Structure 1
Amino acid sequence: MSEKSGPNKVLSGQNRVLRGHKNKEGSMQPRLPLPDERIYTPYKISALVEVLEAQGVPRAECLMGSGVDVDDLADPFAQTSMRQYMTVCANALALSRDPATPFEAGASLHVSAYGIYGYALLSCLSLRDYFGLAERFRRLATPPMTVEWHEDENEVRWFVNDVFVLNPAPALRQFLLEKQFSINVTHLQDVVGQPYPPLRACFSYPAPPHADLYSRYLNCPCLFDQPRCELVYDRAILDRKPVMAHPLTSVLVQETCDRLIGQSRIASGTAGSVYRLLMDRPGHFPDMEAAAQMLNMTSRTLRRRLDAEATSFQAIRDEVRLKLAQEYLGASRMSLLDTATLLGFSDVASFRKALKRWTGKGPDQFRKSL
């Protein structure tokens, strides 16, 4: 963690993160978000500010250069952007002398702070559903990096991909990872209703000077200089029932999350353009190269822009396919073969496998849930 620095150093860091522009006087100023980037409620910013405030850092300093007002932190209708969140994280890194700051902020972010997304996680019917929903609706949670879950014969793990929004510097990247791992541990405990420590946590970077904090906050052995960053649990957890599981509530809040995901895709950025393009061509899904040509860019540029928005072409295509699968299997009662064909699958078996990966359900169970 960086030592405490003055305002000039904080602003300098923000300009690097925000790709600043010059004002009339010729000095660099951070570029505030475009309106269509303001799609997140500021609960993550608020949690971080509260931790810093307890350390004696004034709220105004925590928010410096972000464009977020102090009053926004208590406004349930305030909308903030990923850039604003990353700016406040950069401020925290520079202003705090306590290396436990990201862990404390993560531990304070309980599932109930996440609105409809949080209640979708709390009310799901099994921990298998929890992992799937957390990944599926992650775009609603101000995600600074991409996270996936994988299951093998004995273990289930959160795997953090090496794709971060705005490509932060190594120190900020580590800060975000520490906070994310703390959030993941906290959320699973909230859903289970009791402490449920991971088997281990792995990190791809060398052990920092405050390495002892990792095991203290994550409640498991922590390994460094590993091939990738991941949080590992016993596979037996997948069949556990969340303490607040409720079939009717689960369906209702998941439908709301689906609508919010669709609205955010349509509303903003390159991801929105890709989402609309694929939605306009059901049954004829272009590959990434063809989609890039339709959007008048190279596939490399398209990939880079989607990376910056913490998503991928494959993830958006899966979202579109799932949305259409809901329509085909729900309202129209279309056959599995016709559905698989219209969604671009070579056979029904491939569609079944994909649907299981997306929702944790087979076609019959999925149809009954609609």
Structure 2
Amino acid sequence: MQPTTRLKKPAGSRNEILTVGAGDRVYESTKLGAVFDMLINHGVPADVVLRDVNIPHQEVHSPQTRISLTQLMTICQNALRLSTDRHLAYRIGASVHVSTYGMFGYAILCCPDFRKAMDFAMRYHALAAPLATIEFSEDKADARWTIEPNLHAVAESALYRFVTEMQIGIHISLMRDIMGPTFTPSEIGLAYPQASDFGLPQDQIGCPVRFEQPANQIVFRSQWLDRSADLGNKTTYPTIVALCDDLLGDLKLRIGIAGKIRAVLLRDIANPPSFEAIAKLLDVNDRSLRRQLRQQGFSFRGLRDELRTQIALKYLRHTTLANEDIALALGFSDAANFRRAFHRWTNKAPSDIRGE
């Protein structure tokens, strides 16, 4: 059975869990690209860096590329094998900045205060190809990020340490991006013993590193969170959060049984197979398939309409196709039926979208 990662959804649906298969290609390639670039800069040939990753080097930085956790773990394993840089994992993490995270990063910058930024980063972490689960907590004196690598890394000691130290590098880099370059943790706690092959560069972190602690943690003074968020914007923030909610919705469409049905429907959205035909194709009985869809919060009709809506919006916004042609592409008998369906989906007319 394929390993899975369980990701909590953001506020408003905190108890819902997204179950992402390790092989599901649903994430942007930001972190994979950071590992790739660092090894290329060390003189490693691209085909060697990407061995068994199954991505052409031309597509590593493409905004259309989607990767799986398996691919991300594979390139991390390649990095462990190919580099002798003791601080490689941290350096890779430190090369990741808010600007590389797209809408997720922009939302962090727009948070009106730093506590909201910490909360946002935790709740929307699913958008950032999560190598680890992260939790933020605070008491009167100290705040801390707790980091636990995903199950895919636990079985291999070196990979566990690599992922932990890479994630610490990412966190410190992002904190310095939003709080200023002088941000310095009070201490780093690591759950494993000190090793000789690689480790954290204490001079770059600027704080003590303690080993064999109860958890992997970045600890810093709560006073850092009281500072003014100079780049925060109370007006822009809710708009960006709404866009991130849309991105999470798209992520949900790509995973689990809904993702498999979505892939089948996209093969020919104009002549989509029936629910029964898809169940047979996926080798699942009808009742079980409906139950699995319901557990993800979908119905078959709702999933099909969601895809049709997305495709219709792309046609309307980015092409000059007539409504009749869009209707045909989506499987409607005529433009009038398409217009009625589109109004039902969006509460707008197609002409409203063209005029936006």
| TM-score (norm: length of structure 2) | 0.64
Corresponding residue number in structure 2 for 1:161: 148
Alpha-carbon distance, 1:210 to partner = 6.0
- C-alpha contact 1:42 1:72 (8 A) present in aligned 2: no
Alpha-carbon distance, 1:84 to partner = 0.9
* Residue type at the aligned position of 1:218: I
Q: Distance in 2 between matches of 1:271 and 1:185?
A: 36
Query: 2:11 matched to 1:40?
Result: no
* Residue type at the aligned position of 1:161: E
Alpha-carbon distance, 1:122 to partner = 0.9
Q: SS at 2:201's partner residue? A: helix
Corresponding residue number in structure 2 for 1:133: 120
Q: Distance in 2 between matches of 1:77 and 1:164?
A: 27
- C-alpha contact 1:106 1:186 (8 A) present in aligned 2: yes
Q: Distance in 2 between matches of 1:108 and 1:73?
A: 16
Query: 2:136 matched to 1:149?
Result: yes
* Residue type at the aligned position of 2:106: Y
1:224 to 211, 214, 232: 211
Q: Distance in 1 between matches of 2:195 and 2:258?
A: 35
Q: Deviations over 1:263-289 (max 9, x none)?
A: 21243127989xxxxxxxxxxxxxxxx
Q: Deviations over 1:244-273 (max 9, x none)?
A: 111222111111111211221243127989
Instruction: Kindly report which structure 2 residues correspond to 1:315-334, keeping only aligned pairs within 5 A, or say none.
Output: none
Q: Distance in 2 between matches of 1:134 and 1:161?
A: 15
Corresponding residue number in structure 2 for 1:9: none
Corresponding residue number in structure 2 for 1:332: none
Query: 2:60 matched to 1:68?
Result: no
* Residue type at the aligned position of 1:193: G
Q: Deviations over 1:107-152 (max 9, x none)?
A: 1101110010000111101110011000000000011110100111
Query: 2:47 matched to 1:86?
Result: no
Alpha-carbon distance, 1:217 to partner = 3.0
Q: Distance in 1 between matches of 2:53 and 2:198?
A: 30
- C-alpha contact 1:181 1:218 (8 A) present in aligned 2: no
Q: Distance in 2 between matches of 1:34 and 1:128?
A: 31
1:95 to 77, 82, 85: 82
Corresponding residue number in structure 1 for 2:194: 207
Alpha-carbon distance, 1:104 to partner = 1.1
1:51 to 5, 14, 38: 38
1:36–1:177 distance in 2 versus 1, CA, 3 Å:
closer
Q: Distance in 2 between matches of 1:233 and 1:179?
A: 18
Q: Distance in 2 between matches of 1:106 and 1:72?
A: 21
- C-alpha contact 2:25 2:68 (8 A) present in aligned 1: yes
Q: Distance in 1 between matches of 2:99 and 2:165?
A: 20
Between the aligned residues of both structures, percent identity stands at 30
Q: SS at 2:112's partner residue? A: coil
Q: Distance in 1 between matches of 2:146 and 2:21?
A: 30
Q: SS at 1:247's partner residue? A: coil
Corresponding residue number in structure 1 for 2:270: none
1:141–1:152 distance in 2 versus 1, CA, 3 Å:
same
Alpha-carbon distance, 1:215 to partner = 1.4
Corresponding residue number in structure 1 for 2:243: 256
- C-alpha contact 1:198 1:218 (8 A) present in aligned 2: yes
Q: Deviations over 1:296-339 (max 9, x none)?
A: 9xxxxx9xxxxxxxxxx9xx99xxxxxxxxxxxxxxxxxxxxxx
- C-alpha contact 2:153 2:159 (8 A) present in aligned 1: no
Q: Distance in 2 between matches of 1:61 and 1:51?
A: 13
Structure with higher Rg: it is 2
**Mean Cα deviation higher: 211-220 or 172-181:** 211-220
Q: SS at 1:128's partner residue? A: helix
Give the aligned length: 251
Which runs of no fewer than 5 residues in structure 1 stay unpaired? 1-16, 19-32, 274-293, 297-301, 303-312, 318-370
Q: SS at 1:244's partner residue? A: coil
1:212–1:146 distance in 2 versus 1, CA, 3 Å:
closer
CA RMSD of aligned residues (A): 3.1
* Residue type at the aligned position of 2:135: E
Query: 2:103 matched to 1:119?
Result: no
